Amino acid sequence: MKVTKIAAVFLVMMFSGKMMAQEAEKQLLIKDADDKFPIADVLVKYDHGNSHTHTTTDGTFAVPVKSLPDTLVISRQGYDEVKWVVTNDDDKNKIIFYSISPFRFPK
């Protein structure tokens, strides 16, 4: 009986921790500026700290709210590198439109 109660309390704590973690993130979406399709595998670096993430196949990524405000450095081969400031005051779900870099001949 005691083991069952302890297991139940543990499960409740585990799920409430997951719910709190979900609230502590801001979901963002990166789309191509021209065709408006999501872009996968975009590297997103945080200016405040040494961490980074990549967009998923649907173009989304999460930013920890506790690290905001922060400047994100967004880069992917074939696209311009962009610095974008994200704050906690922005809408919960934000779309970033990302432009393809023009072709340049090497010097």
pLDDT of residue 100: 73
Tell me the domains of the chain and their CATH numbers.
24-98 (2.60.40.1120)
Instruction: Tell me the pTM.
Output: 0.64
pLDDT of residue 14: 42
Question: Mean pLDDT of successive 10-residue segments in the chain (107 residues)?
Answer: 41 43 73 88 84 92 79 89 78 66 62
Sign of CA dihedral 15, 17, 22, 23: positive
Question: How far is residue 55's CA from residue 62's CA, in Å, rounded to a whole number?
Answer: 9
pLDDT of residue 76: 92
pLDDT of residue 85: 83
Place of tokens 């399709």: 37
